[in-house]
Amino acid sequence: MVASQEVLDALKSIGLNLYERKIYVALLAKGVATAGELSQMANVPRSRSYDILESLAEKGFIVIQPAKPLRYVALDPMDAFERTKENLKKKYEEMAERIDKVKSSEIMEELVRIYKEGINIVQPFEMTGMLKSKYSINQHLSNLFKKAENEIKIITTSEGLNDLYSTHYNTLKRVVKKGVKIKILAPFNNTKPTSAFSDIAEIRDIEKPLGRIVAVDDKHIVMALTDESKVHHTQDVAFWAQSEHVVKSVVEPLFYNFWK
């Protein structure tokens, strides 16, 4: 039985690469098979099939039957997906624990020292980068917001304001308690985000959207290069730079021109 494209796309969305998807579907159709049989059924190089099957077993999708030659057994998809979810949870917890140990150890102190020494010799124009996907952009913004010390200036759209509220409101609320001031320029839409931000920030209405620009502490700028309403969230792109010159000579004049 050949799986539909929708099924293959769903398997891709949970982390299976092309060969893994093809081999897994072939094994589901066969029930029990050898690597050679599956490579032929799925049109996958036999030399790759062993590694692929090993990977599927580690993830919890299949079981290896100790025989000569090795045989592979398909599990009920409901059971397989549950096993895989549990495996991912366990790996995540183990990795999170290791990360916490490193963060609280002398190793982190050394890494921070190396970073600070390296930053001192980096030219300002090198502290730039492209952020692709809404997730990456929001993750970077979250880190910048958490480290803010003085002021955060935000120019955004109605959709951007909604996203800012759903993703960063709690973080921004915490930094305000530390004394950080927040100014937001965005189209008012009389929704919950507008009301909520009015409690923690100075927010002013702009009739015409100006895009999405964030400046943090006169050091960092994040500027969207795409219209979030016209692209898929995975194709959202932003430019980041650590540049006091850009913030003070470009962003601030633009911001306060509309702020007034």
CATH number at 137 reads 3.30.870.10
Q: Is residue 91 part of a domain?
A: no
Beta carbons of 214 and 145 less than 8 angstroms apart: no
The answer to whether residues 72 and 168 belong to one domain is no
In whole angstroms, give the CA distance from residue 241 to residue 220: 6
- Rounded to whole angstroms, the Cα distance separating 243 from 180 reads 20
**74 lies in the same domain as 144:** no
Tell me the C-alpha distance between 200 and 221, whole Å: 21
- Domain assignment of residue 205, yes or no: yes
| DSSP H or E stretch at residue 163 | helix 158-177
Are 158 and 58 in a shared domain? no
Query: pTM for the full model?
Result: 0.60
pLDDT band per the 50, 70, 90 thresholds, residue 206: confident
Identify whether residues 140 and 51 lie together within a single domain. no
Could you list the beta-strand ranges (E) of 66-147. 71-74, 128-132
Q: What is the pLDDT of residues 211-260, one digit of tens each?
A: 899 999 988 999 999 988 888 888 999 999 888 888 888 888 888 888 87
- pLDDT (average), residues 92-99: 92
Per residue, the 3-state secondary structure of 200-233, as one string, reads HCEEEECCCCCCCEEEECCCEEEEECCCCCCCCH
212 contacts 184 by C-beta, under 8 angstroms: no
> Does a structural domain hold residue 237?
yes
Q: Which amino acid is at 186?
A: A
Number of domains making up the chain:
2
Task: List the one residue out of 173, 162, 221, 165 whose CA is nearest residue 201.
Answer: 173
Q: Same domain, yes or no, for 45 and 164?
A: no
Region 40-58 average pLDDT: 92
- Contact residues for 236 (Cβ-Cβ < 8 A; gap 6+): 132, 133, 134, 137, 224, 226, 228
Tens of pLDDT along 152-184? 999 999 889 899 999 999 999 999 999 999 999
Question: What local confidence, expressed as pLDDT, does residue 120 receive?
Answer: 60
Does a structural domain hold residue 110? no
147 and 238: one domain?
Answer: yes
Asked whether residue 133 is domain-assigned, the answer is: yes
pLDDT at 2: 66
Cis before 69? omega within 30:
yes
**Under a CB-based contact definition with an 8 Å cutoff, are residues 72 and 33 in contact?**
yes
pLDDT score, position 1: 53
User: For residues 163, 164, 165 and 168, what is the CA-based torsion angle, rounded to 10 degrees?
Assistant: 120
**Shared domain check, 160 and 57:** no
Q: Does residue 234 sit in the same domain as residue 132?
A: yes
Q: Where in the sequence is the domain holding 30, given as residue range(s)?
A: 5-80
